[in-house]
Amino acid sequence: MSKNIIEVDPAKFPWLDLKRYTFCMGAENAGILYLSGQTASEFDPEQGRVVCKGNLLDQTRVIYEKLAVALEAAGMTFRNVVQTVDYIDATALPLYRQTGEIRKQYLGDSPVGATGICVERLLRPDAFIEVSMVAMRGDKKPIDPGWERDGQLTYVPGVEVENIVWTSGFVGNEVVDGQAHYPQNTARQAEMAYGIVGEVLAAAGAGPGDVVKTLDYISPQSLLQYSDTAEVRRRFFGNQFPASTAIPVNRLLRPDGLVEIEVVAVKGGTREDIRVPEWEPGYGGLTQNAGVKKGRLLQISGQSSVNHATGATVGGYDIVAQTEQAYSNIARIMDEGGYSMDDIVNTIEWVAPNGLMEYRKVGEVRRNYFGDRFPSATGVSMHQILGRPEQLIEVTAVAVV
């Protein structure tokens, strides 16, 4: 890990032995802190194993206590948090709205961008929710596009700290007779979502060319139409594509939602689109760049078992071999940009259900690429990889340089 990156591992963490894992609780560089996704997991001496206890609300309280300890170890508080993502098990949805009160207890009135999605399942079978966060040092201000908003919401459309814009996730809709209407056409919903994103960016004094990352959460019923969103992206971004990842999830929180989009943008500074020459024949037609560097952030598009130089998937149904290819792709992007794996502060590993049985083994791949100093990380199960049926894992990464 880069000498500039500070690993955040609290000296006292009563829930787990952190030395057993191939991630750190948080990684900070240049005032930007990425925290690992947290469940309510804790070691139970009576059972002799790690478990998650209680219902969704019990688990959410434990998670926020863990995150409070991690933030304190970094010399930050919840007032520094700029973005949260809740990964929710479908069985916990009836109680999910009530977690808002717990968020208020910890976040108070501090503005935060937020996304909540329903994943296929969490890696721990007794977990109902996992929460990840990003925090920043500096003055935080909410982005106000001038919308009428429900006063009960525990998030805002987006926040800005030192020219970095972090948005909530948005599902496209139109208001008909005073009611939100969600057209059952994936491209049209995506177009509306980008319209909302555009309003948030404009309110922050930013534009599409400032976006360095998009993350699309896709509902299963929209998979057949999802390719139609490429033209929507071309119209919105022109030829300045961000790093992007598209993740099929169990469902969106809004039942008639087809695609939810969250973005990160950086105002000012020089934009650097990272393209890998030997990948261009296949990668060049995509509506994303392999990596985008702007300001302090370097965002990497999601990487799977595809060898982009040949277009072939690697590793058969072996998740370890597939993960090796994904991290090899990430390392190649970093090298092309003049950076190294030591600069990475966070990864998300999205695992297909049929890859979960052997998923624990991918820790060795992380050791090979990161040594004994790990970035923060989150791992969750997606509905499937957006590609070929044999693909078991996709990895997204971000560096601060």
pLDDT single digits (tens) 10-40: 888 889 888 888 899 999 999 999 999 999 9
Judge whether 167 and 111 are in contact, CB under 8 Å.
no
Q: Model confidence at 150, in pLDDT bands (50, 70, 90)?
A: low
* 262 within a domain of the structure (yes/no): yes
- Bridge partner list, 32: 29, 136
Q: Which two tokens mark 299?
A: 């965002």
Cα–Cα distances (Å) from 93 to 61, 224, 250, in that order, read 16, 26, 12
| pLDDT for res 2 | 65
Q: Model confidence at 5, in pLDDT bands (50, 70, 90)?
A: confident
- Tell me the CATH number at 231: 3.30.1330.40
- Bridge partner list, 158: 167
| pLDDT for res 54 | 97
Judge whether 25 and 365 are in contact, CB under 8 Å.
no
Q: How many angstroms separate the CA atoms of 223 and 113, rounded?
A: 26
| pLDDT for res 63 | 98
pLDDT, one tens digit per residue, over 30-77 is 999 999 999 999 999 999 899 999 999 999 999 999 999 999 999 999
Of the residues 136, 162, 188, the one at which a domain ends: 162
| pLDDT for res 126 | 96
- pLDDT at residue 113 is higher than 70: yes
pLDDT, one tens digit per residue, over 165-196 is 999 999 999 888 778 899 999 999 999 999 99
Q: Model confidence at 289, in pLDDT bands (50, 70, 90)?
A: very high
* 280 within a domain of the structure (yes/no): no
Domain that holds residue 311: 289-401
| pLDDT for res 388 | 80
| pLDDT for res 387 | 75
Strands (E), 226-287: 243-248, 251-252, 259-266, 271-274
Judge whether 154 and 114 are in contact, CB under 8 Å.
yes
* 282 within a domain of the structure (yes/no): no
Which backbone phi and psi does 297 adopt, to 5 degrees? -95, 135
Q: What is the arithmetic mean of pLDDT over 215-241? A: 96
| pLDDT for res 284 | 77
Q: Model confidence at 281, in pLDDT bands (50, 70, 90)?
A: confident
The whole-model pTM stands at 0.96
The answer to whether residues 145 and 167 belong to one domain is: no
| pLDDT for res 285 | 84
The answer to whether residues 132 and 24 belong to one domain is: yes
Q: How many angstroms separate the CA atoms of 315 and 310, rounded?
A: 14
Contacts of 4 (CB under 8 A, 6+ apart): 29, 30
* 325 within a domain of the structure (yes/no): yes
Q: Which residue reads 């994943």 in tokens?
A: 119
Q: What is the arithmetic mean of pLDDT over 118-140? A: 96
Q: How many angstroms separate the CA atoms of 329 and 349, rounded?
A: 14
The answer to whether residues 231 and 92 belong to one domain is: no
The answer to whether residues 177 and 111 belong to one domain is: no
Q: How many angstroms separate the CA atoms of 348 and 42, rounded?
A: 21
Q: pLDDT above 70 covers what percent of the chain?
A: 99
* 274 within a domain of the structure (yes/no): no
Instruction: Using DSSP, state whether 308 is helix, strand or coil.
Output: coil
239, containing H or E segment: none
The answer to whether residues 174 and 154 belong to one domain is: no
Number of domains making up the chain = 3
Which backbone phi and psi does 282 adopt, to 5 degrees? -95, -35
* 283 within a domain of the structure (yes/no): no
| pLDDT for res 12 | 82
Contacts of 97 (CB under 8 A, 6+ apart): none
Of the residues 162, 187, 219, the one at which a domain ends: 162
The answer to whether residues 154 and 205 belong to one domain is: no
The answer to whether residues 234 and 371 belong to one domain is: no
Q: Model confidence at 282, in pLDDT bands (50, 70, 90)?
A: confident
Cα–Cα distances (Å) from 357 to 15, 255, 318, 353, 381, in that order, read 24, 29, 11, 8, 11
| pLDDT for res 389 | 84
Nearest 10 degrees: Cα torsion 94, 98, 99, 101: 180
The answer to whether residues 85 and 217 belong to one domain is: no
| pLDDT for res 318 | 97
Q: How many angstroms separate the CA atoms of 36 and 55, rounded?
A: 22
Q: Model confidence at 267, in pLDDT bands (50, 70, 90)?
A: very high
The answer to whether residues 155 and 179 belong to one domain is: no
The answer to whether residues 40 and 85 belong to one domain is: yes
Cα–Cα distances (Å) from 125 to 48, 65, 128, 302, 305, in that order, read 16, 21, 8, 25, 26
| pLDDT for res 145 | 95
Q: What is the arithmetic mean of pLDDT over 340-363? A: 96
* 279 within a domain of the structure (yes/no): no
First to last CA, the chain: 12
Judge whether 376 and 345 are in contact, CB under 8 Å.
yes
The answer to whether residues 167 and 152 belong to one domain is: no
The answer to whether residues 123 and 227 belong to one domain is: no
Q: What is the arithmetic mean of pLDDT over 325-349? A: 98
Of the residues 212, 234, 268, the one at which a domain ends: 268
Q: How many angstroms separate the CA atoms of 367 and 360, rounded?
A: 13
Q: How many angstroms separate the CA atoms of 291 and 140, rounded?
A: 26
| pLDDT for res 1 | 61
* 277 within a domain of the structure (yes/no): no
Q: Which of 306, 244, 252 is nearest to 281 (CA)?
A: 306
